[in-house]
Amino acid sequence: MADERVTALGYEFACLDDAILAQSEMKKIDYLKEHLDKGDADTVKALYDKAIDEKFFKTPVGIGFLSEMREYLIDTLDYSEDEVRAIPLYMFYDSTSEKKKPAKASEKKKEPAGVLFASIVLNIALIIGVIIMFWIAKNTDQPNILNYETAITNRYAAWDQQLTEREEAVREAERELSLELEELGME
């Protein structure tokens, strides 16, 4: 079915869908020819531009009509070549250009390989840097995001121990004072 070629409107198409598209474009062309005021240059130019923008015509039948409109705008309605847009074609017509594409693609693959290698080396260096920073942060005496809880707990434990020792010293001093007062009979 893929090798089935269809002839329509003087063209041989690769498939039935393309032939049907060409016939629908021919109906559009016939309608435009009937209803278009060819004397109004602005209308013809606007229609030409809209047909290009909206991609109304894709087959050789429609492209041929656009070519006729372009020639009419330039030859009859006195537009310059620069004022009338070129007709865009959306296909490759030179089979050798398809053969050149893979070679260009392989050349492009060589370029990113160097970029990929540099990226990998840079990522490894960054990972090593991050590991070193975590090691330094973990092993420092200064409180930081990794050891703040331990540092603060140790600091408060040391304060608590100092306070306990002072309280004990004060109580001992009070006991001694109280014993001395008893010996003196003052109490």
Residue 48 burial (C-beta neighbours within 10 Å; 0-12, 13-18, 19+): buried
Average pLDDT score over residue span 97-114: 56
CB half-sphere exposure, 123, CA atoms < 13 A: 6
Residue scoring higher pLDDT (105 or 149): 149
The confidence score (pLDDT) of residue 107 equals 52
Helices 16-35 and 60-75 cross at an angle (nearest 10°) of: 30
Interior angle at CA 22, CA 18 and CA 27, nearest 5: 150
Average pLDDT score over residue span 167-180: 92
pLDDT, the chain, mean: 83
Among 28-32, 110-114, 120-124, 173-177, the range with the most confident prediction by mean pLDDT is 120-124
Q: DSSP of the chain, one letter per residue?
A: -TT--EEETTEEESSHHHHHHHHHHHHHHHHHHHH--TT-HHHHHHHHHHHHHTT---SHHHHHHHHHHHHHHHHTS---TTTSPPPP--S---HHHHHHHHHHHHHHHHHHHHHHHHHHHHHHHHHHHHHHHHHHHHH-SS--TTTHHHHHHHHHHHHHHHHHHHHHHHHHHHHHHHHHHHHHT--
pLDDT bucket at 132, cuts 50 / 70 / 90: very high
Tokens of 72: 């009419």
41, 69 in Cβ contact below 8 A? no
Give which of 90, 87, 22 is closest to 13, Cα–Cα: 22
Instruction: With 0.75 as the threshold, say if the pTM is over it.
Output: no
Tokens of 146: 């990794």
Determine which of 31-45, 52-66, 74-88, 97-111 has the lowest per-residue pLDDT on average: 97-111
pLDDT bucket at 1, cuts 50 / 70 / 90: very low
